[in-house]
Each structure stands twice: as C-alpha cells, then as structure tokens.
Structure 1
Amino acid sequence: MSNQKKERPSIASLLRKLTMFTLTAFLLFRMEGGIATVADAIDRPAIESNLGAHSVLLSVTFVGDHFVAVGERGLILRSDDDGKSWHQLSSPVSVTLTGVSFFDDENGYAIGHGGIVLRTTNSGNDWKVQLNGLQLAEKLLQQAEKSKDEESIRQAKWLIADGPDKPFLDLLVLGRDHLVVVGAYGFAFESIDGGQTWASCMDRIDNPFGLHLYSIRKQGERILVAGEQGFVALSMDDGQSFETIETPYEGSFFTAQLLEQDGIVLAGLRGNTLVSDDNGQHWKDIKNPISSSIMASFIHSDGQVIMANQAGTLLGLRENRLVPLTRKRLPPLTNILEKANGSVLALSINGPVFIDVGDFK
C-alpha cells in the first residue's frame, strides 16, 4: 500500500469542512447543536411531521413494491405509490440519517450521524438501534486495550471524551446479517450478526490520517472505498485486504461506481470526475460543463452512468465527457435511484423529485 504524504487536517480545517457541508445539499456534516444535543438525539425518537416529503432527504432504496427514504432529523419515509406521495415511519433517533439499504424485502439497515446504525426486519415498518457513537467508542477502547496498542488506546479515549457525534456516511449490505459501514475520520466497521457485534476494518485500509470515507461499492470480489483528499482504496479479494490507489485529484470524492472489465468511476467536489479502465493504474479526467459538486451516481439499466449534482442537474457519462440529461431546473440533488420504468427518482434538499424519461435529451 502506498503512504499518504499529506498532513492530517487541523481542527480549524475540519471545522471549515463541517461548515461547508452543512450548506451543501448532501449535508454530510450537518451540525446537531453540539455534543450534548447529539448524545440526546441518538436516544430521542424522530418527531412526527407533515413536512417530511419537503425536507432534506439523503438516501433512498426500493423495497418490494415501495420506496424507503431517509434524511435529516431522523426522518424515515415510505412511498407505496411509485414516489407520488410519502408518509413518515417511526424512527428511534433524531440525528440525520445518511444512508439506507436492504438485503431483501424484509431486512434492511440505515446509518447516520452519532455513529448510528438502525435495523429493520419487517420492510422498514419498525427500526431498532444496533449501534451508536457512545457504544462505538467503548468498543474501540475495549479492542485497543485487548491489543495493548498505546496509540489505539489514546485515540479511543479521545473519541469517548470528544462525544458521539461522528457520522457514518455509506454502507454496504452483503447479507441479511452482514454489513459494512464507513464514515468520518476513516471509520470502517463490519458486522456479521446483524449489528449485535462489530469488528473494525480500519487495519485493512491504509488511512493513517483518518481521512473521511464517503462511498463504498462492490462488484464481484472488488470493493472500493473513496473519500476526501483524493483517497481511494481498492480490494481485489472481497475486502480481506485493500491497496491504496493514487489519483490525480486531491479533492473529495463523494460517489463512486465499479464497472465491468476493471472499470472505476469517481466523482465529487466541484464536479471533478475520473475514470479508469484498469483498476486505478491509469486515470482519465472527464470533461464536465458544470463545476458543481457531484453527490450521487448509479448505473442505469441501459449501462450509462448517471450522476446528480448540487446544481440540480442529472449528468450522463458518455465516452470522455459528462452530458446534462435534464432540461428543467431542479433543486440541489442529494441522491438518485432508477425506477422500474427507467425514469429516475431523485432526492433533494426539498424532498423527492420525479424525473421522467421524457426529460432526458
């Protein structure tokens, strides 16, 4: 693995990042009012509201015959009519939820700020807390003391003192009871029993400065992790080990895709997009007419990689350039998902947005 030569960001630098992301559509680091508020919010159920469908939503997935979306203030929403209307489901937390994914029609997980991991076993109708930031810090301290690693012990004690405000930012659901979560400060944890116990994956990823991890993707036995300051790590053995991949861009990558034939797509800050067809040995810089941060992507059923940015635009990856796919102006987008008819369900800072196939150029 190659070594990162950049210095760890200062506290002032991290605070500036937190402030910036609070203002962005994705709201990855939306402030919860201080450590005491976060500690309270991880135990406080979300307040019922009629404004859920007009709030900041950050992740959506298709479950059976309905959609489930999550977002700020612990919101969990469900749509039973193809995204036309939404109703709120009960949520045991009030922290911002950043990701949701299901293994099958019954079993799914949601993640968020405060080190939160939620689980449902009944299609999202009920959710239980499987992990929070307080429990996470204690687990890290127990593991560090068992290994007698003084630096790990010091870091774990710092986490306990600093409070449970560290967010998880993406998840990979590998089985009914098997999931991996990644997030701020290089956090990467795995559970094989549905979240009852957790093991750190951080010793497999060469990330000594704890750079934030925004995206995790899997294709075959390849697993890719992408994050801030151009950080990318790739596993070729189903996550048993990772190699740090050098990239020509040192800004944050918020989303990534693994393509067939050793392909990788990375996109993020200011619209910077890179493509490799040899697992990151060489990179091509993709031309983008819109210098707005790309926050989400997916691979359409027609094979095209589609991206969403903070300018409220859908972009299609075609050869060596990104092409705008939408004519009308949309609010800043946070996530996108293909619907059964090939159209796109997008999330925004104002709630869900339906994008018809007819809107594509």
Structure 2
Amino acid sequence: MKHINNQRTLSFKIFTGITFSLLSTLSISTAAVAGDALEESASLSPLATHSLLMDVDRVGNHLIALGERGHILLSEDEGNSWQQVPSPVRVTLTAADFVDDKTGWVTGHDGVILKTQDGGYTWTKQMDGYQANKLMQDLAQQRLAQSEQALENATAEQQSELEDEIGELTIQLEDAEAFSDEGPSRPFLGVWFKNADEGIVVGAFGLILHTIDGGNSWKAWYDHIDNASSFHLNDITQIGDQLFIAAEAGTLYRSDDWGMTWEMLDSPYEGSFFGIIGDDKGRIIAYGLRGHAFQSLNSGDTWQKIDTGIDSSLFSGTLLSDGSAVLVGAAGISLHIDSNGRVINTNQSPSRLPFSHVIESKNKSLLIAGPGGIHTAAVTEGK
C-alpha cells in the first residue's frame, strides 16, 4: 500500500503536465507506455525546434536545449538556428548539467539519466525508472534490516526509539515497493555534477541518487537528507562552494560538503519552491508557487520577501552579468529584479504560454525555453 498522499500526486501531475506545457498528456503515463518510450529513440523531426522545451544551457561555444518526446537540440549561432541530435529515449527531458564543454548529463521523466562525452552530439542512457526504483527499494530494505537487527541487541532505553524508527522504515519500504510495482513513474527534475565523477540527481517523491563514477553506477541517497515525507525535490544547484535543493512544501536544503549531508533551512514560505539562483558572495534567490520569491544575502540563513506583484508560479531564473536577475514562469511572466531584491520590470508574453527556463545570451538578451521552442527577448521586454 502506497502511503503517498493522493492530493500530492495530483498536484505534481498538474505541475509537470499542465503548468509547464498546458498539455495534460505529459502527465499521463502507464508502465507499458513508459517502457516503450524508454526503449525507443526520439523521432527526428523538423517540428522539434517548435516543440515544448524544458531547459536551455550553454556548453562551451554552443547551446543545448531539451524537452518533450526526448528532443535534444544544439545551436552553434547563439540560438538563431537549431539542429536536432539523436536521443536514445522519447520521454520528456527536464534538466542538464555539464562539467566541461564535452561531458554532461540530462535527466527526464520515467527516471531517465542520459550522458554525453562529446558536448551533446551523442547520448547514451545510464539509468531509467525501473533501475531507480530498485535502488530506492534496496536501500529501504537494507535500512529496515539494520534497524531490526539493532533492536535485537538493544537496551530497554533504546527499544522504544528503535521501534518508532522501524515503523517509519516499514512505511518507507512499503512506498518503495509500491513505486516498483507501479513502474518508472517518477521523473528526475534536477541534476548536478561536481566533476566528471561525482554527481547527484533529484526528482519527484523524494527520488535522489548519487554517483562517484560518472554515472556508471548509482546509489540511492535519501538516507543523507531529512525528507521523511518524500517531498518532491524540484531542483539542485551549486552556488559558490555550496549546494542547494529547492523542494515541495516550502522545503529548502543546503549542503556544505558536496551533498554528503544536508541541512534543512528555515524557510520563509510554506508553498513549493521550484528553483534557486545565486552568486558566490552569499546572495541567493529562491522562487516558486504563486509568484513567491525570496532573497537571502547570507546563503539562506535569513530571507527577505521579494514583492513580485504577481500570483503566477515562477519556474526558472538566472543572474545576469550586471548583477540583476530574471525570473520566468507561468502565463509567460518574466520579472527583472535588481541586486537589492526589487522588481524593476514585469513583462508578460502576448501568448500567455508558460516559460520553463531562461539564460542570458552572449549579446545580453534572454533565451527562454517553453512551448514553441526557444524564444529570444530583451531583458526589459517580453516576447
């Protein structure tokens, strides 16, 4: 029996399927359909450049974009034109991270992890949801067995605490078994690599894996983070020498040791956060549901609310070269925020379609991913 709250399941489907793409079909998946999408390569199509794209990133001297149906696109002219490259899967791809101009990873729906070693021109599949579910279940079984063994040798004082722990671990195992029975239903939503070997991926319902060999093998990592409620881990990012995870239900995590341990920060908000951006001087901005955004000048120890003036959810952000920031999100909203955390400009695209990701181009304009592909906009105007 799965103990995950049904309302959270529904809200997550709305987030992944409707909020980003307005296409409810993205959130409808059976194990059989997922299996096909995991085994079949993405179709090469001239329409791929106009499809839903979830992420855009700079890799050396070119750009990479990725999105629905396994589409991966490259641009060598700063986004003026795009070339689709082969992808080994046709599930929606969600996030990318590169450690240099050759080596990078992409995450996606159905527990997919892809790797490239040539700058994104070719890709291999390293992980899918079947394997991820097994890793999570194996760790749950191992932790429960260890606690049961400890109970056999426990003192009277230790027994009560261990019995409570065993109860919680039993629930975690039952949930892990239920996810395994369900198939590869959980998406990965974020990826970070320290170097060519060490990395972490995060996703829905507490999904988190760690590797020390470039993704050739992975370990379930949820025992390194305080997330007993299996909140969605929506994004992972490095800011300076620290890592941050933006999560469901107002949850924010920070790590000072490259993800070996995580501290849950005092949160300024009870709603979900979808991302964090920042610089190496302690300034960070966390953003999420219903237009909520907060700035910290001490790496998340304390927060100040940013008066965004909107109630549209914010899905992505980037710090610009001049120190200001841009946040984008639902309904085609973009916010330009100065270094003091003040919104200096708000724009909305005429289409009202959501924006899923934003970066700054070399000519100081914005490259924005979303339905219809990559859009270009000036910092001070919508597109």
TM value normalised by structure 2: 0.86
Cα pair distance change 1:340/1:127, threshold 3 Å? same
**Where is the helix percentage greater, Structure 1 or Structure 2?**
2
Residue 360 (structure 2) pairs with residue 338 (structure 1): yes
AA aligned opposite 1:57: L
1:211-237, CA deviations, whole angstroms, 9 ceiling, x for partnerless residues?
A: 001111212331111111101111123
Establish whether residue 47 from structure 1 lines up as the match of residue 68 from structure 2. Answer: no
User: Is 1:23 the equivalent of 2:18?
Assistant: yes
Partner of 2:342: 321
Among 300, 303, 315, the alignment partner of 2:323 is: 303
Indicate the residue corresponding to 1:180 in structure 2: 200
How high is the sequence identity, in percent, across the aligned residues?
33
Equivalent of 1:97, from 93, 99, 115? 93
- How has the CA–CA distance of structure 1 residues 290 and 282 changed in structure 2, closer, same or farther, with 3 Å as cutoff? same
Q: Look up the match of 1:348.
A: 370
Aligned counterpart, 1:106: 102
- Report which stretch shifted further, 312-321 or 192-201: 312-321
1:248 and 2:268 matched: yes
| In structure 2, distance between residues paired with 1:18 and 1:109 | 24
5 Å-filtered alignment, 1:1-361, equals 10-25=5-20, 30-147=26-143, 148=145, 151=170, 152-318=172-338, 319-324=340-345, 326=347, 329=350, 331-356=353-378, 359=381
Cα pair 2:336 2:380 within 8 Å, conserved: no
Moved more, 17-26 or 268-277: 17-26
Distance 2:69 2:238 in 1: 29
Amino acid at match of 1:158: A
The alpha carbon displacement at 1:260 in A equals 3.6
Q: Report the Cα distance in structure 2 between the residues aligned to 1:28 and 1:169, rounded to whole angstroms.
A: 18
C-alpha displacement of 1:165: 1.2
- Distance change in 2, residues 1:27/1:140 (3 Å): farther
Answer whether contact 2:135 2:220 (CA < 8 A) is retained.
no
**CA 1:357–1:278 in 2, change beyond 3 Å: closer, same or farther?**
closer
| 3-state SS of paired residue (1:161) | helix
Cα distance in 1 for partners of 2:14, 2:261 equals 34
SS at match of 2:12: helix
1:262-305 Cα offsets, whole Å, 9 max, x none, are: 33311111110112223333221110122211110111111112
Q: Which of the pair has more CA radius of gyration? A: 2
Structure 1, unmatched stretches of 5+, are: 1-7
Residues 57/106 of structure 1: CA separation in 2 closer, same or farther (3 Å cut): same
TM-score, normalised by the number of residues in structure 1: 0.90
Distance 1:249 1:339 in 2: 32
Q: Distance in 1 between matches of 2:68 and 2:287?
A: 23
| Residue 26 to residue 306, structure 1, CA distance change in 2 (3 Å) | farther
Q: 2:157 — aligned with what?
A: none
Question: SS of the residue aligned with 1:67?
Answer: strand
Give the Cα separation in 2 of the matches to 1:50 and 1:325. Answer: 33
Q: CA deviation at 1:153?
A: 4.0
